Structure 1
Amino acid sequence: MRSHPSRLEHFHGLPVHHFTGPDEDPGPPPPASVAWRLTTDREVPFEERWGSFLDRVRTDEVVALVIGAWWQEWDEHGIDPVLELITAQAHRLPRLRAVFLGDVESEESEISWIRQGDAGRVLRAWPGLCELGVRGAEGLAIEPLRHQALRRLRVESGGLPSEPVRGLAACDLPALHHLELWLGTDWYGGDCTAADVRALLAMLDRSPRLAHLGLCNSDIQDEIAAAVAAAPAVAGLDSLDLSMGTLGDDGGAALLSGQPLTHLRALDLGHHYMSEEMTRRVRATLGPHVQDLGLTPAHRGERRSEERYVAVGE
């Protein structure tokens, strides 16, 4: 793996506060002032930590929840038992508006090893949820559903399987404002195809408030660029992120020959593999119009300099 997302410091516009249980000193902060991070350790299993949280924090005022590592020595069951535990107490968190699942660093687990579950369970438990973040994609399930409040969805992965992408494409998310998917590589389970991406883009036509789209970190980034270049939903965007993947000259040419992108405030093509000539063409065409144009190339070592790789894999 070339890089790994670090532990969250802020979530849902709030600082992340690590809940340590009865030993909180000098005492817990106001419940709505932070995003509460719950994790286990070798002495305290997650179920006990969760019970302590419910007992010691005014959870009826909590607005943001971050779930870190839920296992003590190894992850035997994935996150589903944790989701069952927290959603069973949904009535104790009536104001919850944001959840992040899997705030885990590489020292705890590589991103491709994080075992997710049915993320839709969280959406069904909290109809008012505005933001959902997920790190890791093994076992991730997103079943077709309608959710009227969700504004931000972010999935970070080294390999996102096609099933949750297809499930997401069948969802109805009319309030969606920000969507970011790290699609990853087939080496780590990322078997999403261009057809899956096109179906997802078609779904986004039913999300008229969408302002940001990120389809990142993919080893089919050229095909994704071609799909994006023809997608009507892109015309309503403020920002587009196609970074971290294997974008080359074919993808760059597709973006230049497709629908106009000059309305974008920001376009991130960082970690790309375009030639210097194509990079100049993109800069000359879009640079005068796009305020924030990211064109940082991928680092190429002296050996195997023609090999392309995504920014986040294992």
Structure 2
Amino acid sequence: MTIGSHITTFAGLPVAEYPADLGKASRAGSAWRLEDPDYDNTGQFLERLEALAAEDWANQVTALVIGNWGGAYDTAPPIGRLAALLPRFTRLRALFLGEITFDECEISWIQQADITPLLEALPKLEVLTVRGATGLGLKPVRHSGLREFTIESGGLPADVVRAVAECDLPALTHLELWLGTDNYGGDADVDDLAPILAGSRLPALTSLALRDAEIADLVAVALAGAPVVARLRALDLSLGMLSDTGAAALLAGQPLTHLDKLDLHHHFIGAAVLERLTAELAEAGVTLDVSEGSDADRDDRYIAVSE
């Protein structure tokens, strides 16, 4: 699986291109997408950002989608300028940083930066999605407004996972981390996830996604007894290398029948364990996604998104 197309909606709004869709899209009712159309670092991205921020309707914009800011394969996003300009969008509530497809830049090649200044500059932000983790940084912060936080990557560094775990996010209801593979920098282990699984810093969390994980079995074993699970409505371990080991641990652990949804799609679970999952969860009313299964041998297993 690769990310081959741009999103068409974000934060519940249709995505519109700036400036191409001016006059066609709703100013206040669109998630405005900005990018350098030539991916060549000639300054077009910042020119477009500054132009949008100067529009007399900028204070109506609630969602922004940042595409390729230039040569994303060798240049980090201009976090300083973003942190300075984005507060001009006084109603901004949702931000996607790095909405880039594989033909523009593979996910594990996207150069990122320390995103802490964005969280500090946007105290009213409710939704933050980041794609790419090479060079990604985060310092533990308190943010009382953030409700949904997603990092999509082919390999999420342990120091970023630990920083997320150490953040104080009292309003966060959805956390999504694509842990990836060690081949692309995903060196986090279950110990790095421990504060998240304990749930003490995330009192409002009801949806947890630990996706695309080479260590999916170890994550599942840890989740089997994790305090946070009891108050979740949705749990997502999809896109990773979950096998009988992890699925059996989930079945043997604390009850999961309180969940509305358990997403395990793209997995390596055998027929016998799948039958048990269906019997114990689907028949209890849990929406269970076990599509895209494979019987590949251990050495041939893979996460869905890496390069």
Query: Which bin holds the TM-score, normalised by the shorter protein?
Result: over 0.9
Please identify, of 109-118 and 284-293, the stretch whose mean Cα deviation from structure 2 is larger.
284-293
Secondary structure of 2:230's counterpart equals: helix
Secondary structure of 1:89's counterpart equals: helix
Determine whether 1:78 maps to 2:85: no
Matched with 1:196 is 192
- Contact 2:4/2:103 (8 A) holds in 1: no
Percent identity for Structure 1 against Structure 2: 44
Question: How many matched pairs?
Answer: 304
1:55 shift after superposition: 2.8
- Contact 1:31/1:57 (8 A) holds in 2: no
Distance in 2 of aligned mates of 1:36 and 1:186? 34
- Contact 1:165/1:200 (8 A) holds in 2: no
RMSD between superposed Cα atoms in Å: 1.9
Deviations, residues 195-214 of structure 1 (Å, cap 9, x unaligned): 11223222x33322211110
- Contact 1:241/1:267 (8 A) holds in 2: yes
Matched with 1:101 is 97
Matched with 1:142 is 138
Runs of 4+ residues over 6 Å off in structure 1 = none
Distance in 2 of aligned mates of 1:13 and 1:207? 24
Secondary structure of 2:200's counterpart equals: helix
Deviations, residues 237-295 of structure 1 (Å, cap 9, x unaligned): 11110111011111011101111000001001111111111111111121211431011
- Contact 2:2/2:102 (8 A) holds in 1: no
Q: Which amino acid aligns with 1:97?
A: R
Matched with 2:113 is 117
Matched with 1:308 is 301
**Equivalences for residues 162-241 of structure 1 within 5 A:** 162-202=158-198, 204-241=199-236
Gapped runs of 5+ residues in structure 2?
Answer: none
Distance in 2 of aligned mates of 1:6 and 1:15? 15
Determine whether 1:274 maps to 2:249: no
- Contact 2:74/2:111 (8 A) holds in 1: no
Distance 1:38 1:209, change over 3 A: same
Q: What TM-score do the two structures reach when normalised by structure 2?
A: 0.93
Gapped runs of 5+ residues in structure 1?
Answer: none
The partner residue of 1:128 within 121, 124, 127 is 124
- Contact 1:197/1:227 (8 A) holds in 2: no
1:121 shift after superposition: 1.5
Q: What TM-score do the two structures reach when normalised by structure 1?
A: 0.91
- Contact 2:178/2:211 (8 A) holds in 1: yes
Matched with 2:51 is 52
Distance in 2 of aligned mates of 1:124 and 1:74? 23
